[in-house]
Amino acid sequence: MKSFLLGQGVYSFIDGTSTCPPSHLESVVVSSSYVNPAYLTWKQQDHLIMSAILSSLSVEVLHLVVDCNTSHYIRRMLETALASPSNSRIMQLHGSFKELRQHDDSASTYLQKAKALFDELAATSRPISLAEFNLYVFWGLRSEFKDLVTSLSTKADPISYTDLHSSLLTHKFLHKATLQPTITAPLLPTPTQQPAAFFVQNHSGFNTA
């Protein structure tokens, strides 16, 4: 997420160097105020950043920042909550990982949930290895992926997140392809078979009354 925000040139909103302009400005013509256009632009950009951050958080930490009104405030709340994690928090994350199941989720959604837990554990300075991440993901996949899991489990090195995601999508595509109904062409008369005889042979069950 940090790399994305830096690439978009908006990380200053997160670190607090870009501060919110005043909401109103005083008019020099009449003794009244008007809405500051810079304020509206700033708030719009900050809400887009907040939306991106919130969509990347897991359910377990979302409640910590639901009341935050700026992206900078979200960062501060997360740092406070996760910088010095308790043992109970770490145990909770491990428990969530062990209970994670795909159920009706798509392969992409399921893997994103697993990645969110993986990143949260890394943020607590108690990360799990990539091999452990692979095992947690394999355990929670639906049975249709058992052949893929068997194949990937035999590899000497753990598979990266990107390669795992690609493998799951490819397997899902191939699995759907094998379930497509086969359309059988109607039986046509052979050159030696008279059309009338073919009709009687293939429609003898019809009620001709």
Q: Tell whether 62 is covered by a domain.
A: yes
Give pTM, 2 decimals. Answer: 0.48
Q: Tell whether 61 is covered by a domain.
A: yes
Q: Tell whether 209 is covered by a domain.
A: no
Q: How many domains does the chain have?
A: 2
Helix segments in 1-155, DSSP class H: 2-7, 11-15, 37-56, 59-65, 71-82, 87-99, 107-123, 130-140, 146-153
Asked whether residue 102 falls in the same domain as residue 174, the answer is yes
Asked whether residue 39 falls in the same domain as residue 6, the answer is yes
Domain containing 149 equals: 87-179
In the predicted model, what is the mean pLDDT of residues 50-59? 86
Give the phi and the psi of residue 136 in degrees, each rounded to 5.
Answer: -60, -45
SS3 33: strand
Q: Tell whether 196 is covered by a domain.
A: no
Cβ 46 vs Cβ 13: under 8 Å: yes
Kindly indicate the confidence band of residue 87, based on its pLDDT and cuts at 50, 70 and 90: confident
* Interatomic CA distance for residues 22 and 36, integer angstroms: 7
| Cα torsion angle, 86, 127, 70, 67, sign | negative
In the predicted model, what is the mean pLDDT of residues 131-156? 91
Asked whether residue 57 falls in the same domain as residue 121, the answer is no
pLDDT in tens, 149-189: 999 988 889 999 999 999 998 987 766 655 555 555 555 55
Q: Tell whether 191 is covered by a domain.
A: no
- Answer with the one of 45, 60, 82 that is the final residue of a domain: 82
- Answer with the one of 34, 64, 82 that is the final residue of a domain: 82
What six digits make up the tokens of 167? 């493998």
